[in-house]
Structure 1
Amino acid sequence: MTLIDRPLTAPDRRTYGFRPRKVLHHFRKLVENKEDTEQVFQIIEATKGKASHAQALQFLQSAEGQQQLRRDIDIPAMLDDHDRWADLPAGSVGQHYMAFMKREGLTAAGLVAESHKWAPPEELPQDQTQWYYDRLRDTHDLFHILSGYGRDALGEASLLGFSYSQNHNNGLLFIGYAGARQIKKVSGTKAPLYASIREGQRNGKAATKIAHQDIDALMRENLEEARARLGIREPRIYRECLAILEREGYQRDDLSLNAGAAAAA
């Protein structure tokens, strides 16, 4: 069955809404092992409610969504095909993306593999809604590039605030604020960490939905022009916080936060 022939929402798909006991159970496990990305996916699933589902349906039934469904591009394979982007000019989204992924030792396929540890594809509903949720996952590292939030602890937490406003999953906001609290606990910093999360929320709300874009075309745009077109604002409070943390003597790797948290967005 081709993607366009799949049901919009499979009969076996369930939308539970917020399940606090499940969230706390998996959050405790995440605190015990901050590299256990499976717990992040569990939290995201336990907080995926009606707002996320409604946004998925709205996009899938739009002309833009229907066009993307018919194209059915394998986004991780496309993003990891660096030869495809080799001739892009300096300053393009794609050039920034490739430099970021190489510097961080990341691949789009690696994130997919992590998500499959939690839920193998054959166990997920075979519907167009799942394709949409996968698209949110697969565009995560483009969120980093376009939003300006780094992979430092506060950057990941602030990006979760941004992603919450884009994707409407309460789990993202929960982990974001929990991450800021952890940074505050570890460092005792005077930086306005929670304000950085709130700034991420505002910036994500003001911006056009990144996951709804034609990703191939987006990669070829100039980064600053893409940010302007999408209405993405500068993360000024986040950068202010980084400057304060640096003056206090902290470097990127000094503060603990699971980098997989935002990756599950």
Structure 2
Amino acid sequence: MSHEFASAPATDPRPMFNPARVKPRFRPFKAMHHFRKLIADKEDTSEVFHIFEALPRRNFRVEAQAFVESDEGREIIRREPYLPDLLDDHERLRAMPAGSVAHAYCDFMKSEGLSAAGLVAEYDRFTGGKRFGDLMEYYGNRNRDTHDLLHVLTGYGRDALGEQCVLAFTYGQNPAPANLFIAYAGGLNVKKTTKSDAPVFKAINEARKLGRACPRISEQSIIDLLAEPLDAARKRLNITPPVHYEEAHRRLRARGIDPYDLLTNAA
């Protein structure tokens, strides 16, 4: 069975960089302001985007250009012009083999009440729907749209520590300062909230190392990845079970703390 989705033209007409883009500024105090707001309401994803805007990633343009101009990148652009359409087509994903990444992804998104389009809507709320229409935007969108897939591949949940670990894993792959800032600031908040001996920072450090050892997920063919058996995909990508994260959960529960309810309890 073919798992092809709608393809883009063989020659992409978009420019690499839209000159209307404004050079991002490094604003750590703004990042801290929005992190405090994120802690107050962890479901307000727009705060995450504000933090990323305030702590821009060095060499992003260079890395984006290297990907989209490579043979592999051009083929991925042709096969996967817009990831949310692929990721939200659960009927097509469920047609992939049982035990595949696709089935685990659908199960995760259903259980959490999430959709790829929902994340895009949050981003559009942050930007006001502004588009640049360049290949840098395409590359950046792939980083955004594969976030929930990282939860599935790594085994990190959507609890407070799990989110910090996914961001640390992402930093290991794509070194945006915002990933690291939220991961460690969030970890500090978990330690402050729980006052436990849970190895929070060991879990975050482990996630960062796992991300560094793994090929960049956003630069993989997501169609092909989804069709792989989950265990085989993890082995190919060097993703091993998160030992310290599981231990942190064990120690939190031993103290009567639900890892998935930390921020609610702290409010």
User: What TM-score, normalized by structure 2, do the two folds share?
Assistant: 0.90
Q: What residue is the counterpart of 1:97 in the other structure?
A: 105
SS in 2 for 1:249: coil
Corresponding residue of 1:23: 31
1:72 and 1:80 mapped to 2: Cα distance?
A: 13
- What residue in structure 2 maps to residue 74 of structure 1? 82
Residue 233 (str. 1) matches residue 240 (str. 2):
yes
**Equivalent residues in 2 for 1:151-190 (5 A)?**
151-190=158-197
* Aligned-partner Cα distance in 2 for 1:49–1:112: 20
8 Å CA contact 1:23–1:46 kept in 2: the answer is yes
Q: Which amino acid aligns with 2:179?
A: L
What residue in structure 1 maps to residue 252 of structure 2?
245
The percent of aligned pairs where both chains have the same amino acid is 44
From 41, 47, 55, the equivalent of 2:55 is 47
Decide which of 93, 99, 105 is 1:85's aligned counterpart. Answer: 93
1:260 corresponds to: none
Amino acid at match of 1:114: E
2:121 aligns with: 113
C-alpha distance in structure 2 between counterparts of 1:30 and 1:254, whole Å: 15
Q: Report how many residues are paired.
A: 256
1:115 Cα offset (Å): 0.7
Q: Compared with structure 1, are the counterparts of its residues 250 and 28 closer, same or farther at alpha carbon in structure 2 (3 Å cutoff)?
A: closer
1:147 aligned partner: 154
Cα distance, 1:17 vs. partner? 5.2
3-state DSSP class of the match of 1:255?
A: helix
Aligned-partner SS, 2:12: helix
1:117 alignment partner AA: R
Give distance in 1, aligned partners of 2:98 and 2:257.
Answer: 31
- How far apart, CA to CA, are the structure 1 residues paired with 2:80 and 2:227? 19
Moved more, 135-144 or 68-77: 68-77
Deviates further, 244-253 or 134-143: 244-253
Q: TM-score, normalised by structure 1?
A: 0.90
Quote the RMSD (CA, aligned, Å): 1.9
Question: SS of 1:168's equivalent?
Answer: coil
Q: Which moved more, 1:243-252 or 1:103-112?
A: 243-252
1:72 Cα deviation after fit: 4.3
- Secondary structure at 1:164 match in 2: helix
**Does 1:138 find its partner at 2:145?**
yes
Q: How far apart are residue 129 of structure 1 and its match?
A: 0.3
8 Å CA contact 1:164–1:172 kept in 2: the answer is yes
Partner residue, 2:221: 214
Alignment check: 8 A CA contact 1:38 1:114 kept: yes
Cα separation, partners in 2 of 1:87 and 1:169, compared to 1, 3 Å? same
Question: Which amino acid is the alignment partner of residue 115 of structure 2?
Answer: T
Q: Residue 7 of structure 1 corresponds to which residue in structure 2?
A: 15
Say which of 208, 211, 220 aligns to 1:204. 211
Query: Structure 2 CA distance, aligned partners of 1:94 and 1:5?
Result: 31
Q: Specify the code of the residue in structure 2 equivalent to 1:161.
A: A
Shift of 1:73: 2.8
Aligned to 2:201: 194
8 Å CA contact 1:16, 1:49 repeated in 2? no
Shift of 1:161: 0.3
Give 5+ residue unaligned stretches, structure 2.
1-7
AA in 2 matched with 1:220: A
